[in-house]
């Protein structure tokens, strides 16, 4: 039976569609295993990541904020120092206001020997800890010399207003002072800290007294001790419950008894 021109055209269209579908199916069949293999294969390290493990972490925080933690190195020699950067940024295109929470994932973090108005802090633990076992960690190292410390006035913060586009140059702190007077101040939400050891007291108990008025000079009985060879965990936390962990090693001497490997970091 002879086909009419219209029937012949429809038949050709159907054949063309069938051919296209067959090509798509074949392409997917070829590319899927390759994509799966690429997913399983090790990926190139991000720029700035040191060999042997990450030196930075970025952890999502409420309302689109981010907590950034980085360390200057993940391996150093006895007597060497470790530099720590911590900041909270707003990568969005609009202001973000978030209420103070005082809901820390771990205790013992700070930005110095005095209480801070900023909603973040760090500590250093002796040993290797992750988010799954950090609750079993011993007390953090005492990074600041204990004693009587003259601290500035501590403000009662109610909320933080973060500027957009990842700026860390300022954040508005909204709250009230002890007498109820409202205030708004501008702070830098970033801190760089550097440590080469910790403070040890003869009894092992370190106590600091925070005051807000000049006091007579008091000599502390604590002694400074450089980081000993081994593994350490840098803990970074915010008062909204975010947690980031990085690790570094103090490399011992090559005497056969001090063999260490570099470790990486893990976000909480």
Structure tokens at 197: 């050891």
For 40-88, how does the pLDDT look when each residue is reduced to its tens digit (9 = 90+)? 223 333 333 334 568 999 999 999 999 999 999 999 988 889 999 999 9
The 10 Å Cβ neighbour count of residue 71 is 25
Residues 136 and 242 in one domain: yes
- Grouping H, G, I as helix, E, B as strand and the rest as coil, residue 219 is coil
Predicted local confidence at residue 118, as pLDDT = 87
Same domain, 130 and 204: yes
Interatomic CA distance for residues 55 and 74, integer angstroms: 6
Neighbours of 260 (CB within 10 A): 13
Could you tell me the pLDDT band of residue 33, with boundaries at 50, 70 and 90?
very low
Checking if the pLDDT of 212 tops 60, the result is no
Residue 50 lies in a domain: no
Structure tokens at 50: 């040191």
pLDDT, mean over the chain: 75
Print the domain residue range for 142: 56-155+188-267
Checking if the pLDDT of 244 tops 60, the result is: yes
* pLDDT the model gives residue 65: 94
pLDDT digit string (tens) for 144-174? 988 878 888 767 788 888 888 887 766 777 7
Residue 247 phi, psi (nearest 5): -130, 145
Residue 17: pLDDT band by 50, 70, 90 thresholds? low
Note whether 234 and 108 are same-domain residues: yes
**Lookup result for tokens 């409420």:** 62
- How far is residue 66's CA from residue 69's CA, in Å, rounded to a whole number? 10
Is 200 exposed, middle or buried (CB count within 10 Å of its CB: 0-12, 13-18, 19+)? middle
Residue 91 domain flag: yes
Same domain for 192 and 141: yes
User: What is residue 149's predicted lDDT score, i.e. its pLDDT?
Assistant: 81
**Residues 3 and 114 both lie in one domain:** no
Residue 259 makes CB contacts below 8 A (sequence gap 6+) with 252
Question: Which CATH number characterizes residue 115's domain?
Answer: 2.60.40.1930
Residue 249 lies inside a defined structural domain of this protein: yes
Which pLDDT score, from 0 to 100, does residue 54 have?
83
Same domain, 107 and 224: yes
Domains in the chain: how many in total? 2
Lowest mean pLDDT among 11-20, 94-103, 150-159, 181-190: 11-20
CB 169 within 8 A of CB 88: no
DSSP 8-state class, residue 129: -
In a domain, 107, yes or no: yes
């Amino acid at each position: 039976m002879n086909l009419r021109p219209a029937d012949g055209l429809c038949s050709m269209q159907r054949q063309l569609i069938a051919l296209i579908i067959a090509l798509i199916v074949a392409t997917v069949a070829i590319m899927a295993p390759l994509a799966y293999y690429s997913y399983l294969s090790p990926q190139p390290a991000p720029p700035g990541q040191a060999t042997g493990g990450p030196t930075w972490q970025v952890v999502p925080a409420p309302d689109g904020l981010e907590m950034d933690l980085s360390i200057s190195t993940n391996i150093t020699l006895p007597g060497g120092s470790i530099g720590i950067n911590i900041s909270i940024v707003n990568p969005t295109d609009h202001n973000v206001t978030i209420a103070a929470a005082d809901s820390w994932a771990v205790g013992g973090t700070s930005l110095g020997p005095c209480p801070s108005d900023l909603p973040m802090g760090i500590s250093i633990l002796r040993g290797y800890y992750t988010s799954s076992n950090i609750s079993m960690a011993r007390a953090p190292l005492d990074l600041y010399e204990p004693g009587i410390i003259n601290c500035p006035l501590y403000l009662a913060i109610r909320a933080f207003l973060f500027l957009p586009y990842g700026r860390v140059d300022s954040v508005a702190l909204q709250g009230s002072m002890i007498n109820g007077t409202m205030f708004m101040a501008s702070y830098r939400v970033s801190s760089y800290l550097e440590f080469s050891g910790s403070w040890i007291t003869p009894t092992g108990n370190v106590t600091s007294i925070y005051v807000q008025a000049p006091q007579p000079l008091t000599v502390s009985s604590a002694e400074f001790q450089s980081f000993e060879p081994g593994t350490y965990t840098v803990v970074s936390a915010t008062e909204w419950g975010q947690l980031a962990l990085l690790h570094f090693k103090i490399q011992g001497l090559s005497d056969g008894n001090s063999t260490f490997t570099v470790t990486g970091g893990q976000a909480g």
